[in-house]
Amino acid sequence: MSMYSKYPTRFIPFLLLSLFMILSGGIGLSQVFAQEAEEVDPPEITNGERLFLETRFAQFFKVFLDGGKDVNDPLPAGDPAVDKVMNWNLPPDQFADSPFVGQSMNCRSCHFVDELGVEEPLPGYGMRTYTDFARRSPVPAREDRHTTTVRNSPPLVNASLPRKHFFLHFDAEFHTMVDLVKGTLTGRNYGWLPGEFAQAVAHIAKVIREDDGQGDLAMEFGGFSYTTLLTGTDPSIPGEFLLPESFRINISQASDRDIFTAVAKLIAAYTEDLAFSQDENGTFDSSPYDVFLTINDLPRQPQKGESPLAYSQRLLRHI
């Protein structure tokens, strides 16, 4: 079994509801919502998830390639930055082994879900909403001597919901999810220093062009090369992986920058789909907060004309 098949990612509503059933004894949950069979994700989201998990876009892997290796060769040793998962609730000498030991950085290295402490008890760890356990997220070691970011990774679930003054990241660095993905893939999180943007883009394009579709991750997603998937014209591609034309790009003719943008669009499509369940009226119904409100018959949203502050004050009085 590959390391990727051990960590399913699409069961956030089910796992959170299971937790509340345990804590509440199941009281009233049959009226919360009827559990539906999980829908098949659109191809852009499925392929975006694969790119979200891809470990070869990092600068650490470029150093490996610069030594004369092939894009499809395995690393002899991984980046120490992803060897362990630190937890701010635990002493520094206590940590969990990362699911990506032996690899280089990917998005999932800092945005966990159910990899640690869910299937098997692990003190201090458990379900996450695509965030990490650290006070400050680790980054690959480089000449600037930084080993962590200035803060931890923000949760991705519901992060892209429309809102007034829409910005992303704690410092409001990015205006769109595509911009955030581009900044991450070419930034310090992936080991790239300021001034290395062009190198990062060229490296990502090289991985896409030369991937043969035979690695463990590729096999979990149909066994197609990135060139085949992103070009999207091969009749052997099944519907679950066949990208809509708006996400396709002719890899054989595309520039490095165009390939980079196509990758960012797919990862953004995946992350934008990370949201808690909603009912037929568009009301959230299965986040821990929403289930708590429903079970306790508390008001779930502002009344017509009621400000968010007034609603919060009214809710607090009920509680």
Structure confidence by residue, pLDDT tens digits, 57-103: 999 999 999 999 999 999 999 999 999 998 988 888 888 999 999 99
pLDDT-flagged residues of the chain (< 70): 1-38, 170
Q: Are residues 160 and 222 in the same domain?
A: yes
Q: Are residues 142 and 232 in the same domain?
A: yes
| Dist. CA 306–CA 109, nearest whole Å | 41
Q: Are residues 261 and 313 in the same domain?
A: no
The answer as to whether 210 is a domain residue is yes
Q: Assign residue 77 a region (left: φ > 0; alpha: ψ between -120 and 50; beta: otherwise).
A: beta
Residues 300 and 319 sit within 8 Å (Cβ to Cβ)? no
Q: Are residues 225 and 303 in the same domain?
A: no
Q: Are residues 71 and 213 in the same domain?
A: yes
Residue pLDDT, tens place only, 7-23: 454 444 444 444 444 44
The predicted model scores a pTM of: 0.82
Q: Are residues 143 and 263 in the same domain?
A: yes
Q: Assign residue 249 a region (left: φ > 0; alpha: ψ between -120 and 50; beta: otherwise).
A: beta
pLDDT at 165: 72
Cα 277 to chain centroid distance, Å, stands at 17
Instruction: For residue 309, give every residue at least 6 positions away whose Cβ sits within 8 Å of its Cβ, in sequence order, or none.
Output: none
The answer as to whether 3 is a domain residue is no
Q: Are residues 314 and 257 in the same domain?
A: no
The answer as to whether 279 is a domain residue is no
Q: Are residues 295 and 247 in the same domain?
A: no
Helix (H, G, I), strand (E, B) or coil at 97: strand
Amino acid code (one letter) for 178: V
Q: Are residues 234 and 299 in the same domain?
A: no
Instruction: For residue 142, give every residue at least 6 positions away whose Cβ sits within 8 Å of its Cβ, in sequence order, or none.
Output: 59, 188, 191, 193
In which domain, by residue range, is 302 found? 288-318
The answer as to whether 86 is a domain residue is yes
Q: Are residues 66 and 191 in the same domain?
A: yes
The answer as to whether 282 is a domain residue is no
Q: In total, how many domains does the chain have? A: 2
The answer as to whether 7 is a domain residue is no
| Dist. CA 261–CA 113, nearest whole Å | 26
Where residue 133 sits, what CATH number does that domain have? 1.10.760.10
pLDDT at 38: 58
Residues 225 and 218 sit within 8 Å (Cβ to Cβ)? yes
Instruction: For residue 307, give every residue at least 6 positions away whose Cβ sits within 8 Å of its Cβ, in sequence order, or none.
Output: none
The answer as to whether 67 is a domain residue is yes
Q: Are residues 86 and 208 in the same domain?
A: yes
The answer as to whether 234 is a domain residue is yes
Q: Are residues 121 and 162 in the same domain?
A: yes
